[in-house]
Amino acid sequence: MMKWGLTLVLMLPALQLYCWGFYAHRLINENAVYLLPPEMLVLYRKQIGYLRDHATDADKRRYILKAEAPRHYIDLDRYGDYPFPDLPRKWTEAVNKYGKDTLIQHGILPWRILEMMSSLTGAFRKHDGSSILRLSADLGHYIGDAHVPLHTSSNHNGQLSNQHGIHAFWESRLPELLAEKEWDFFIDKAVYVHNPAEMIWKVVMESAAAVDSVLTIEASLSVNTAPDLKYAYEWRNRQLIRQYSGVYSLSYDRRLNGMVERRLRQAIHITASCWYTAWINAGQPNLSALNEKLPPEQVLVVDSLARLWLNRAVKSRSCD
């Protein structure tokens, strides 16, 4: 036993307990850009660094803005059992039934996404480049959150089932370990979303349906794993972190049968599709005027991406 370990060992930062880790949020916004048509790439490709770097602004705002926290989750189990037939999907009907305070208390994530889509459409109509980028970055963030099963449950960090830490385990540890090494992010191009409300509620309900598997699979794995194999110690930012071990993490991912990768891929596709839909609904404004003239190397990148868009087959998968 390392004597000094007791004072140096830390659990993951509290920030990571609530949303896809910073890594996954950045990955979602960045990869979504590549699914856009050339008319949007002229802005989004050039600003890919902004979209990636600001993918977690919404999380950071939670520390300075009280209203921000409930925008990142919805505790659906507060409204009964799956598929929660008592909860109206329309905001006005839900407010009439439960009152705004109750809804905010249990989280408003799906309605926040719809609000952001509407705001983004407005920003496109106004040709407001900075708002387009800010809202796109935030929209990708909230769509990412909607894909995390534990963002739809009051047992959000396994605190009710003696599984403290499972939130960051699922959404941070697994992507950080596996996204680059094993997962595939070649994804169909963006599609038009005919009914955003229906689409986003479908996403949230998929997440809710997966909560049980996320918890029970880890519980069963934990029972069958010796404690000294479950955790490992890793240095991160000059701090020794007690972390789920690589072996334990891989076993969990295998038992989840690709769930995290699937949710991440869909989050990327739906983010791109929502950006695209907002742009279409705004009348497909010309975005090239919002950028300064692209330097030659950027033009080359956009051209090759444009070819990729045209050559890609549109498969049957759709968001609507």
| Nearest distance in Å: CB 19, Zn ion | 3
| Nearest distance in Å: CB 294, Zn ion | 32
Residue closer to Zn ion (CB basis): 19 or 94? 19
d(CA 259, CA 262): 5
Residue closer to Zn ion (CB basis): 40 or 58? 58
Per-residue three-class SS string for 166-234: HHHHHHHHHHHHHCCCCCCCCCCCCCCCCCHHHHHHHHHHHHHHHHHHHHHHHHHHHHCCCHHHHEEEE
Contact residues: Zn ion, CB under 5 A: 19, 59, 72, 145
Minimal CB distance residue for Zn ion: 19
Task: Cis check for the bond before 175: say yes or no (omega within 30 of 0).
Answer: no
| Nearest distance in Å: CB 145, Zn ion | 4
89 neighbors 200 (Cβ within 8 angstroms): no
Residue closer to Zn ion (CB basis): 37 or 158? 158
Residue closer to Zn ion (CB basis): 139 or 193? 139
| Nearest distance in Å: CB 58, Zn ion | 6
For 312, list phi and psi in degrees, rounded to 5.
Answer: -70, 135
Alpha-helix residue ranges (DSSP H) falling in 34-156: 38-44, 48-53, 57-61, 91-98, 100-106, 109-125, 129-146
3-state SS class at 311: helix
- The CA-based dihedral angle spanning residues 189, 195, 200, 205, taken in that order and rounded to the nearest 10 degrees: -110
248 neighbors 190 (Cβ within 8 angstroms): no
Listed residue (297, 318, 255, 274) closest to 121, CA to CA: 274
Helices 259-281 & 196-223, crossing angle to 10 degrees? 170
| Nearest distance in Å: CB 171, Zn ion | 10
| Nearest distance in Å: CB 108, Zn ion | 12
Residue closer to Zn ion (CB basis): 72 or 112? 72
Q: Name, in order, each residue with C-beta under 8 angstroms of 224's C-beta and a sequence gap of 6 or more.
A: none
Listed residue (284, 285, 280, 91) closest to 200, CA to CA: 91
Residue closer to Zn ion (CB basis): 42 or 203? 203
| Nearest distance in Å: CB 72, Zn ion | 4
- The token pair that represents 199 in the structure block: 């689409």
Residue closer to Zn ion (CB basis): 54 or 189? 54
Residue closer to Zn ion (CB basis): 27 or 43? 27
| Nearest distance in Å: CB 235, Zn ion | 27
